[in-house]
Amino acid sequence: MNIRKVAQMAGVSVATISRVLNHPEQVLPETREHVLAVMKEQNYTPNWFARGLNLGTTKTIALLIPDIESETHQKIISGIETVARNKGYAVFFCNTHGKADIEEESLDMCENRRVDGIAFVSSNLPESRVLQTRENGIPCVHVGKNRNSGCDTLCYIDFEEGAYRLTRHLLTFGYGRIDLLLDVAECHQSAQIEAGFSNAVRESGRAVESKRVMEEGGVQSGYTVAQRMIQRNDLPAALITAGDGQALGVLKAAQDAGIAMPQKLALASMTDSPVCGLVNPPVTALELPASKLGMAAGRLLFDNIENKEFELGVPQEMVLQPKLKIRKSCGNLKYIYELFD
Amino acid sequence: MNIRKVAQMAGVSVATISRVLNHPEQVLPETREHVLAVMKEQNYTPNWFARGLNLGTTKTIALLIPDIESETHQKIISGIETVARNKGYAVFFCNTHGKADIEEESLDMCENRRVDGIAFVSSNLPESRVLQTRENGIPCVHVGKNRNSGCDTLCYIDFEEGAYRLTRHLLTFGYGRIDLLLDVAECHQSAQIEAGFSNAVRESGRAVESKRVMEEGGVQSGYTVAQRMIQRNDLPAALITAGDGQALGVLKAAQDAGIAMPQKLALASMTDSPVCGLVNPPVTALELPASKLGMAAGRLLFDNIENKEFELGVPQEMVLQPKLKIRKSCGNLKYIYELFD
DNA sequence: ACATGCAGAGAAACCGTTTACAGGACGGTG
DNA sequence: CACCGTCCTGTAAACGGTTTCTCTGCATGT
């Protein structure tokens, strides 16, 4: 069922049909009703390809994301999808598993399909490749990469500031050695966390000699690392983990070894999750505005799509701040406040 | 950059360019190389719309899913995306938030865009609407709906069998009253769970008088319900929850009230999650083959896409079985076995 | 020398829209 | 009555590919 057949059945020309759909006010109300009736009767829907072919716009964006299992990523997806839907855009979803070759392949796919814009979440692609895409006229935004990555047009959560505040919070309690447990997978992020952490420690007048243990993320790895520390009798007074998975693993290891928290080991995580509030003791963590990050990415992207004619050609940045969720795993705040009273 | 310009630059006709891309063997190797060189130099990529317009195939499928936050759904998405990528298909992702009107809207979008197939996850759409789409020539599969839903071409996890086995497991320990905590949101699923549960109880020679408490899912609601039961002194000997969130809530409530598990309250969940194995005691649960479900859906869908000419017109079903993960929250199995030794 | 077959390349029709342009009806005005 | 503007509608040319059909040139066999 194409526009010509509908036109024939309705006894009008194809132009009229097209106008009924795109500029209804230009056509006589009774003709319009009649055409609409025929369209419904034949359940006709206009062919997207033919439309896209001469409009040159696809009303489609693409989202490249390394995985979907992380809660943060889910919320980013949700946020960006919401913005897209409200603008009448469809979204291609590409799970890149963090592999550069799959990203490359997905990017080719996006260019072929003439998407109107692309959002990269924590991409591993060389920036030159992305620039090339942008030169082909497709706006691109990066999510979760910060300005040190060499990319422009990006939005991210300020992990440096977050780590700084979280570390300051721990320092309030006067803990001795504070360790940092990072995650090899997210190197850009790790650098930021380390910077914020170091700044806070240095400001407190100490040398930054606290060691950092690099490991992969996840509950199991947190458990293993903590267990090893306990066995070697090498436990710090406080530990900051890059992810909530690691934190939960550490907590479990401490529980299993009968180590009191926060008395013998204070714990804080750079990312929050519902479980962090449920365990015993509840774990202090940074609540990431992930869903807002997704929406911010969407807004930035659509801003670039809709205002192509005023191209800025200058780095654009949106930075969101995480929120410190103080719970019991770092110590009793009230006690501290009483000390100062 | 279009095919005509490339043709002009390469000194050949458009047909040759097209053949280089689609039927390379039909064109002289040296011409082919030359054309490819020009294409790369101009970084030309064929226009997807023009292509789709006369091929009638879009190499795109759509995935309608009520939300992305559930772990099960993530895995389904991942599974189906993997299959699609390997087949060279792109996937439209539509988060419907479980609302029928957004589903309807998304479905219209999919028809407009002439997707080659659609996977509905736990859809709320009237089946007649889906049938209409199928009559328009777009293959559709349902994921997570069972045969009682009135849909055909579906794949799902056998919750009835799962509930049956889980209940039998609990009955092994000889518990008295066993309650079922369902989730109003997932009614089809609830009905299956109830059926399996009832069968198992009835088979054991008891009357199925155990009461069921309907509630919404989630940790908080599990906590509230359990707390209420404890206050009213109305705790069953064992409790089966529809979701792992609820189970964790119940566990927390029991811990807070000092109720020993499994001695005073045994607990099992119809869905597993990593946290279930981490809490104390670890919670017995059904491990759902969610990622396999996604892949199964993908296979079923592509089977219908690729073999349109042999249309079956007959219900097709793929049923996957969940796996019982026995942990500590229902009692010590060894003890039971010793009794029988 | 000539018929035959075949491989490679070009011309043109087609896919289903949108839209610039043109045309026709109608009513009001000089 | 001629003229003009306003409204509505129709015609036809894009958009950028794919593919069918046709044509050319060359090698082969007789």
Who has greater pLDDT, A225 or A112?
Answer: A225
Note whether B229 and B188 are within 8 A (CB).
no
CB contacts of A111 in chain B (<8 Å) are 45
Least confident of A153-162, B65-74, B293-302: B65-74
User: How far does the CA of residue B22 sit from the closest CA of chain A (Å)?
Assistant: 15
Nearest CA in chain A to B77: A68
CB contacts of A48 in chain B (<8 Å) are 49, 112-114
How many cross-chain Cβ pairs, A to B, lie less than 8 Å apart? 106
Does A219 sit within 8 Å of B112, measured CB to CB? no
Q: Would you mind telling me the total number of residues written for chain A in this entry?
A: 341
Long-range contacts at A36-45 (CB < 8 A, ≥ 24 apart): A38/A6, A38/A9, A38/A10, A39/A6, A42/A1, A42/A5, A42/A6, A42/A9, A43/A1, A43/B132, A43/B136, A44/A1, A44/A2, A44/A3, A44/A6, A45/B108, A45/B111, A45/B112
CB contacts of A133 in chain B (<8 Å) are none
pLDDT of residue A66: 92
Say how far apart CA B224 and CA B219 lie, in whole Å. Answer: 9
pLDDT of residue A152: 79
Tens digit of each residue's pLDDT (9 = 90 or more) over B93-120: 999 998 999 999 899 888 888 899 999 9
Spatial neighbors of B336 by CB under 8 A, at least 6 apart, are B172, B173
Percent of chain A whose predicted confidence (pLDDT) is above 70: 94
pLDDT of residue B196: 94
Closest nucleotide relative to residue B30's CA, C1' based: C8
CB contacts of A78 in chain B (<8 Å) are 67-69, 95
pLDDT confidence tier of residue B334, bands split at 50, 70 and 90: low
Enter the pTM of the model: 0.82
Helix (H, G, I), strand (E, B) or coil at A317: strand
User: How far does the CA of residue A55 sit from the closest CA of chain B (Å)?
Assistant: 10
Who has greater pLDDT, B209 or A317?
Answer: A317
Residue B278: which of A45, A93, A248 has the nearest Cβ? A248
pLDDT of residue B340: 47
Across the range B27-32, mean pLDDT stands at: 87
- Residue to substitute from A45, A49, A87, A128, interface B, most B β-carbons within 10 A: A49
DSSP code, position A283 = P
pLDDT confidence tier of residue A341, bands split at 50, 70 and 90: very low
Does B45 sit within 8 Å of A112, measured CB to CB? yes
> B26: Cβ under 7 Å from strand C?
yes
Long-range contacts at A296-299 (CB < 8 A, ≥ 24 apart): A296/A79, A296/A155, A296/A320, A297/A76, A297/A79, A297/A80, A297/A119, A297/A141, A297/A143, A297/A155, A298/A79, A298/A80, A298/A82, A298/A83, A298/A84, A298/A119, A299/A83
pLDDT confidence tier of residue B288, bands split at 50, 70 and 90: very high
> B92: Cβ under 7 Å from strand D?
no
Percent of chain A whose predicted confidence (pLDDT) is above 90: 50
CA at B317, C1' at D1: how many angstroms apart? 79
Percent of chain B whose predicted confidence (pLDDT) is above 70: 93
pLDDT confidence tier of residue B189, bands split at 50, 70 and 90: confident
CA at B31, C1' at C6: how many angstroms apart? 18
pLDDT of residue A143: 93
Q: Specify burial of residue A297 (Cβ count, 10 A radius: 0-12, 13-18, 19+).
A: buried
Which residue shows structure tokens 């045969």?
B147
Across the range A194-221, mean pLDDT stands at: 80
pLDDT of residue A188: 74
pLDDT of residue B341: 44
Least confident of A66-70, A119-123, A166-170, A321-325: A66-70
Say how far apart CA B286 and CA B157 lie, in whole Å. Answer: 11
- Would an 8 Å CB–CB cutoff place B53 in contact with chain A? yes
The answer to whether residue A118 scores a pLDDT higher than 60 is yes
> Strand locations in chain A, DSSP E?
60-65, 90-95, 117-121, 140-143, 154-157, 178-183, 212-215, 238-241, 266-269, 284-287, 317-320, 323-325
Closest nucleotide relative to residue B21's CA, C1' based: D18
The rounded radius of gyration (Å) of the Cα atoms in chain A is: 26
CA at B26, C1' at C6: how many angstroms apart? 13
Q: How distant, in Å, are the alpha carbons of B223, B267, B303 from that of B230?
A: 11, 14, 52
Does B92 sit within 8 Å of A77, measured CB to CB? no
pLDDT confidence tier of residue A307, bands split at 50, 70 and 90: confident
Choose the most confident range, by mean pLDDT, from B136-140, B180-184, B322-326: B322-326
> A57: Cβ under 7 Å from strand C?
no
pLDDT of residue B137: 84
CB contacts of B89 in chain A (<8 Å) are none
pLDDT of residue A103: 93
Who has greater pLDDT, A86 or B70?
Answer: A86
- Would an 8 Å CB–CB cutoff place A219 in contact with chain B? yes
Helix (H), strand (E), coil (C) string for chain B? CCHHHHHHHHCCCHHHHHHHHHCHHHCCHHHHHHHHHHHHHCCCCCCHHHHHHHHCCCCEEEEEECCCCCHHHHHHHHHHHHHHHHCCCEEEEEECCCCHHHHHHHHHHHHHCCCCEEEEECCCCCHHHHHHHHHCCCCEEEECCCHHHCCCCEEEECHHHHHHHHHHHHHHCCCCCEEEEEECCCHHHHHHHHHHHHHHHHHCCCCCCCCEEEECCCHHHHHHHHHHHHHCCCCCCEEEECCHHHHHHHHHHHHHCCCCCCCCCEEEECCCCHHHHCCCCCCEEEECCHHHHHHHHHHHHHHHHHCHHHCCCCCCEEEECCEEECCCCCCCHHHHHHHHC
